């Protein structure tokens, strides 16, 4: 304040004839011009900032467009892969059905054309496995059939092995024991057919793969008859398809 007063006094001394009002106006003009220049500089600064932000925003939009394009390309590729996988699954299902039908036909013709696959006219006709309501609880039904016209009394012993994997390692279980069928009932005696049935609980952690059936003929002939039934096929319509050996 003192400095300003001194400046005014100096101006009054130098321009003694000019009114104080004029000097004040000059000072006010200087202040306005300085403020205007500061405002112009600030406006230029803000304009530059806005321009840079617009450039950044444009770049972000470009990157977003690229990402959207890449996402669309990946989505198309994913859709193509899904469609191809569905087609492969459908073809695989058709092949499995065809394979299942062929194995049934082969088993039928083996009964007629390959008597060496029979013992005393006895065949392991079928194995059906069905799932009960309780978890891991199943019912099985095994049929032995005598196909010769002259049907004599046939006796023998049956053995059924459930084969699967537990933690990747093969494990075998006696299916008759799992079904609580006593050893005395493992023997059979028939003239036309015999049927084994029972309910069993699938062992914990077991991934079943197949069921191996062995029939040893002890009366009305001799020999061993074996047949393997695949677990997955055995659950198909409750009827198993198998291989005779």
Q: How far apart are CA 49 and CA 56, in angstroms?
A: 11
Q: How far apart are CA 210 and CA 234, in angstroms?
A: 9
Is the confidence at residue 202, as pLDDT, over 50?
A: yes
What's the average model confidence in pLDDT over 182-207?
88
Is the confidence at residue 19, as pLDDT, over 80?
A: no
* Bigger pLDDT: 114 vs 240: 114
Give me the pLDDT at residue 153, please: 83
Among 112-116, 120-124, 224-228, the minimum mean pLDDT is found in 112-116
């Amino acid at each position: 304040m003192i400095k300003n007063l001194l400046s005014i006094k100096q101006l009054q001394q130098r321009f003694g004839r000019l009114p104080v009002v004029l000097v004040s106006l000059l000072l006010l003009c200087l202040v306005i011009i300085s403020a205007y220049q500061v405002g112009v500089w600030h406006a230029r600064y803000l304009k530059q900032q806005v321009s840079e932000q617009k450039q950044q925003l444009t770049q972000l939009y470009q990157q977003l467009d690229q990402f959207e394009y890449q996402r669309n390309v990946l989505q198309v590729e994913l859709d193509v892969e899904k469609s191809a996988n569905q087609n492969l699954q459908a073809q695989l299902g058709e092949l499995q059905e065809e394979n299942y039908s062929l194995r049934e036909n082969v088993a039928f013709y083996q009964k007629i054309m390959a008597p060496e696959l029979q013992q005393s006219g006895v065949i392991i006709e079928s194995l059906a496995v069905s799932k009960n309501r309780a978890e891991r609880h199943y019912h099985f039904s095994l049929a032995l059939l005598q196909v010769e016209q002259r049907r004599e009394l046939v006796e023998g012993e049956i053995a059924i092995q459930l084969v699967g994997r537990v933690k990747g390692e093969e494990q075998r279980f006696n299916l008759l024991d799992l079904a609580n069928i006593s050893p005395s009932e493992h023997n059979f005696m028939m003239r036309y057919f015999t049927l084994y049935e029972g309910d069993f609980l699938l062992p914990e952690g077991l991934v079943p793969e197949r069921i191996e059936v062995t029939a040893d003929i002890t009366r009305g002939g001799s020999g061993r008859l074996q047949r393997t039934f695949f677990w997955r096929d055995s659950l198909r319509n409750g009827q198993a398809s198998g291989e005779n050996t």
